[in-house]
A and B are shown apart, each in its own frame.
Chain A
Amino acid sequence: MTSPALELRDVEVVYERRGSERVRAVAGASLTVERGQIVGLVGESGCGKSSLARAAVGLVRPAGGSVLFEGRTVEPLTRRGRPRDLARLQMVFQNPYSSLNPRRKVGSQLADALDALDLAPRRGRRARVEELLELVGLPAAAAGRFPHQFSGGQRQRIAVARALAADPSVLVLDEPLASLDASAQAQLANLLVDLSRRLSLSLLLISHDLAIVRHVADVVSVMYLGVMVETGPTQPLWSIPLHPYTEALIGAVPKPDGRGELPDALPGEVPDPARPPAACRFHPRCPYAFDRCSREDPLMLEVAPGRNAACWLQTGEDPPAPPATRARRLSLPRVEG
């Protein structure tokens, strides 16, 4: 069996805050992207998804755990060049205004990978750059212009084209849609799905926009305060969320259906990642928390084939059921506060 396109096992990312406080932005998270799959990683601010993305491509060294690209360990970037066989693992950044050099023409930046990896003969470079621009729906003339002459959505597509120049098999995208308006978001989302299907490209799409992720991803992973809380195929996860946080997240998304229903709010605030709650990190805000939740950190359990959740409500014995149902069945006493 071939190894997955990208695999993160118990990854930990630590950084030092001012005052030499060590913060575990990612505290042991695992995630798998199979070949040709689109995995959506969702979570709110402070959950560590960006740090995880950076660790996944080697921009930052994990403090624990391992990252495997097509079975091979991903080494962090050093001053020497990146190992050649990692070239097919690429990243698209969130901010289209800072991920392109404002003083270089677009065509020159697209050709970076071609130069560094020797992917096209000198003469063929121009043609390849035009091909890449066409792939993302931009005119060939764009190569001669500067980034500031394009809109945010177009710049993001240029960034995607730049990553595609390396002929990647896995593309990690850190909130690529965040700074775009609705129309540009739709265009970019369509493009990503299209590229993934056409080029058999595996995507790890990080986003806080659940609606788009739901539309685009095959598998969704939900992250909270540095840990993964649930993973599963998109449709079943949406209809029957297994983790209370997933349920809260889904309930908080407003619907444009004109019915005037307010989304569900989640009480409390995200704790400081430097001082996470004991045991289950979500328990202070969880409507179903019981005594075990504050004593033992729940393990990620395969509740059903392909569906994992880290919650003491889920035991894996019965077919997947949402937290409310599970709590009732287990007739648990609620913990106050």
Chain B
Amino acid sequence: MSSIALGTRARRRRGHLRPAWRQPLAIVGAVIAVGWLVVAIFAPYIAPHDPLAQIFPPSQSPSGAHLFGTDELGRDVLSRVIAGSRVSVPIALLLVTLAALIGGLIGGIAGYFRGVADGVSMRVVDLFFAFPAIILAMVVAAVLGRGLRNAALAIVIVAWPSYARVVRGLVLSVGDSEYVESARLLGSTARRTLFRDVVPNVAGPVLVLATLDLANAILLLAGLSFLGLGAQPPHAEWGSMVADGAQYFQWWWIGTFPGLAIFTAVLAFNFLGDSLRDLFDPQTSWGGGTKE
């Protein structure tokens, strides 16, 4: 109805409702995410103590000397949380990138060539989707053996099908769109339209998916470690630290601070992903210009 359309147009024109309440969140998300990245990169220099050193009085509550307290083996929790970021954040980034590349390639081939390639790859994707992610990850990690490397592999295996489906769908719909048809009529080869028309329309959604997936990857990695399938002791990893903390409930700081770390990192990437979605939509005021 015209009134609703009017509202939407007004919103988009001023960039008010949608980006307005998303913008502060984007900034918050970006700040926290970048914060963790910085911490992860400079961890050895930031951490006040060696995360593996069991030299302090054990189970000390948070104090001036140990901001996050010490754990049951006498290690500084703050240093361990900082060291844990080295595992969670960059590895999650690497895994998501790998999954996106693998999934995107398979999905792209399926959407571009259609026919048999499409049929076969999508049935494989369906197969993977039949299992809940955490179960599949657990099975893979259990089969391959404990350890961070195998947990990472498990996560990539679990994550790529989403990208395959999304990219395939986008390549198909964009490929059938009238603007691609008219580009073909104007003489563009299929390959050329792939790069000029298809990829720009695919890149945005994939980036959004990847950013949100980062949050999932961090969570999944922590979850596997929590179950004992990922990072092995004495490695400092948020998930296994939470598992530890669950055992020693009375010393709440042991599990709470790593838990908070997981929470803030996941939230940050979720905010970031949502705002990226708006950024890539050329119709919002800060995505490409206002309507005349």
Contacts and interface: CB of A to CB of B under 8 A. Distances in A.
A327 interface: no
The range of chain B's interface size is: 20 to 34
A80 B186 contact: no
Contact of A103 (B178, B183, B186, B200): B200
A99 B180 CA distance: 8
A145 interface: yes
B185 A77 contact: yes
A103 B204 contact: yes
A166 B187 contact: yes
For the residues of B in contact with A, the DSSP-based class is helix
Contact of B192 (A87, A95, A116, A146): A116
Contacts of A116: 183, 186-189, 192
Nearest to B178: A99
A84 B186 CA distance: 9
B274 interface: no
Given A93-B178, A145-B289, A149-B290, A101 B201 contact: yes
Interface in A72-87: 77, 79-82, 84, 87
For the residues of A in contact with B, the DSSP-based class is loop
B264 interface: no
Nearest to A90: B185
22 contacts: A77-B184, A79-B190, A87-B186, A87-B187, A90-B185, A91-B182, A91-B185, A98-B179, A99-B178, A99-B182, A100-B179, A101-B201, A103-B201, A104-B197, A112-B196, A116-B183, A116-B186, A146-B288, A148-B282, A148-B283, A149-B291, A150-B292
- In the A-B complex, the 3 residue pairs with the smallest Cβ-Cβ separation, listed nearest first, are A116-B187, A113-B186, A81-B189
Interface of A: 57-59, 77, 79-82, 84, 87, 90-91, 93, 95, 98-104, 108-109, 112-113, 115-117, 145-146, 148-150, 159, 162-163, 165-166
Given A81-B187, A82-B184, A162-B186, 15 more contacts: A77-B185, A79-B190, A91-B182, A91-B185, A93-B182, A101-B179, A101-B197, A101-B201, A103-B200, A104-B196, A112-B188, A116-B192, A117-B186, A148-B283, A149-B289
